[in-house]
Amino acid sequence: MKNRNDQRTKQFTQLGLTVAYYRKLKNITQIELADAVNLSRTHISNLEAPNMPTSISLEKLLDIADVLNVPVKKLFDFRD
């Protein structure tokens, strides 16, 4: 079970880093993204922080993809 938890933590971390990458590419601040998807800036910051794996609902993830104008599958294109 520990291995699965470690894998999930890594996936959440990679997801957050990918969101941060596309957000910066669009020149959008964390506050602007948070406002656009009705989340707190702190939640976006925690999502993007590599040392704070944070979960997010599928609905909010789809909202983020829409705001960033990125197909949601691209948010899961993790670089190893």
pLDDT tens by residue, 19-36: 999 999 999 999 999 999
pLDDT tens by residue, 42-66: 999 999 998 887 889 999 999 999 9
Check residue 5 and give its pLDDT. Answer: 81
pLDDT band with cut points at 50, 70 and 90 for residue 1: low
Number of C-beta neighbours around residue 61 at 10 A? 18
Could you write out the three-class secondary structure of the chain? CHHHHHHHHHHHHHHHHHHHHHHHHCCCCHHHHHHHHCCCHHHHHHHHCCCCCCCCCHHHHHHHHHHHCCCHHHHHCCCC
Q: State the pTM of this model.
A: 0.89
**Residue ranges of domains in the chain, CATH in brackets:** 2-76 (1.10.260.40)
Check residue 27 and give its pLDDT. Answer: 98
